[in-house]
Copies of this chain bind each other. A is one copy, B any other.
Amino acid sequence: MESILIIDDEDDIREILGYNLKKEGYLVHTASNGLEGLKSAERNLPDLILLDVMMPEMDGIEVCEQLRSNNLTANIRVCFLTARSEDYSQIAGFDAGADDYVTKPIKPKVLISRIKAILRRSSGSDNSETTSDVQSLVIDRERYLVILEGQEVQFPRKEFELLSLLASKPEKVFDRDHILEKVWGSGVVVGDRTIDVHIRKLREKIGNERIQTVKGVGYKYCNK
């Protein structure tokens, strides 16, 4: 039986979510503030935590960071509950290591399908490899795909290798020779604009800001 911990300061929310989740067959714990939530998380080790972002004293983001920094709780799935569609809090949330978010007002049906999705994801990849470290960009060489802000994206081979190289050391500038060597292999001769074009394709898919040009030197990958 899968267990879920609800951390929210509003009684109504805890009650209504708890009711719906129990009806769905989950084991439910609740906590009305961050500290209490952290304790409960450590004690009960739930499969998923529903975490309100805006709470007095300790907010959800801080709670999430604390969860992540504790070995016991570091791998528990976290889903943020956030007011309206504040996309900034979404990003801050993912930075803190959230797996998903749901905006209030919460429709139980929506929430439940999201929860199922999260738990399905986590139970599927039970190997030690793809842990919950929801970075903004993760290279999964085994499945040959990139997880970009929680979204799985597929890339053609060259693009994948190129991105993979750049992202292997964020902020480091890779010069063209080095890139050619690593991605195309030594001895292979390709035209002058080949790298540019692939950079272009990558930028199209992951956003312009993520790959910076350093003129006369090379390119570097930057976490946003």
Contact = CB atoms under 8 A, between A and B. Distances in A.
Interface in A167-224: 171-173, 209, 214-217, 220
Contact of A95 (B61, B84, B107): B107
A214 B153 CA distance: 12
A43 interface: no
Interface stretch (A33-41, A72-80, A85-93, A121-129): A85-93
A20 to B, nearest CB: 8
Contact of A156 (B12, B107, B216): B216
B91 A214 contact: no
Given A23-B59, A59-B23, A144 B88 contact: no
Given A143-B171, A156-B216, A92 B104 contact: no
List the 7 closest pairs (A to B, CB-CB), nearest first: A157-B216, A88-B105, A144-B173, A143-B171, A88-B106, A144-B214, A92-B107
Interface of A: 12, 16, 19, 23, 54, 59, 61, 84, 86-92, 95, 104-109, 142-144, 154, 156-157, 171-173, 209, 214-217, 220
Given A19-B54, A143-B172, 15 more contacts: A16-B88, A23-B59, A84-B209, A87-B105, A88-B104, A88-B105, A88-B106, A88-B108, A92-B108, A92-B109, A95-B107, A142-B171, A144-B217, A156-B216, A157-B217
